[in-house]
Amino acid sequence: MMKPALISIIGSLTDDSIPEDRKILLQSLIEYLTEKIALKHDVNLNFICTHNSRRSQFSQLWAKVIATHYGVEINSFSGGLETSACDERTIASMKRMMFDIKNSGGENPKYEVRYHTEKAPLILFSKKHDDVPNPEKGFAAIMTCDHADENCPFIPGAEKRLPIRFEDPKAFDNSPKEAKMYDERSIQIATEMKYVFANI
């Protein structure tokens, strides 16, 4: 089972907070997923931003969790244009969302994120978009930041490229609003992923 706290968070998300222009943007992802599922093809989503440390990590996690909530089978990945580390503020926000997380340690830790008693945990860490374990082909590249979208016009192996950008919470690092803005971005991404998977 999924943790009751996570089910409660997902249940609290409403699409009233999603502007109409965002819903139009998300429709392209809904159509991609609907077609892949109808054809009984594997669904591989690779969320890409510059450093693979914040928005793409939130997106990878929430896409998998909410797809599981709706009984939709997907493979969720994330990557960047360069390797850094999954930012500790990102992980702190995930913990506030009641995810169980283990840290392997090191300069670029692998975080084991458990969200379901019967599902394998997600392993989150910073990597390039074409590094293992990300797919080599047959995936949708979802560009979650403007820098990556504008500076990486071609993603090898992607069968679909979808620009779904989010504001970077990094702008609030080391400020009194830091935790609030990381959580706000996480909830925005979760809300939009719920809208997507609820409409398949």
CATH number of the domain where residue 117 is located:
3.40.50.2300
- In single-letter form, the type of residue at position 50 comes to T
- In single-letter form, the type of residue at position 124 comes to L
Count how many domains the chain has. 1
Q: How far apart are CA 173 and CA 166, in angstroms?
A: 16
Mean model confidence pLDDT for the chain: 96
Alpha helices for the chain (secondary structure H): 4-12, 20-38, 55-69, 88-96, 146-151, 178-198
Is 35 part of a structural domain of the chain?
no
Is 112 part of a structural domain of the chain?
yes
Is 85 part of a structural domain of the chain?
yes
Is 173 part of a structural domain of the chain?
yes
31, 121, 133, 153 from 149: Cα distances, Å: 20, 29, 21, 6
* pLDDT < 50: residue spans in the chain: none
DSSP SS3 for 131: coil
5, 103, 142, 156 from 131: Cα distances, Å: 33, 20, 16, 12
Is 154 part of a structural domain of the chain?
yes
Q: Is the sign of the CA dihedral 25, 158, 147, 78 positive or negative?
A: positive
Per-residue pLDDT tens digits for 103-142:
989 999 999 999 999 999 999 999 999 999 999 999 999 9
pLDDT at 120: 95
pLDDT at 151: 84
pLDDT at 153: 78
Is 48 part of a structural domain of the chain?
yes
Is 13 part of a structural domain of the chain?
no
Bridge partners of 46, per DSSP, are 77, 141
Domain assignment of residue 161, given as a range: 42-198
Is 99 part of a structural domain of the chain?
yes
pLDDT at 162: 97
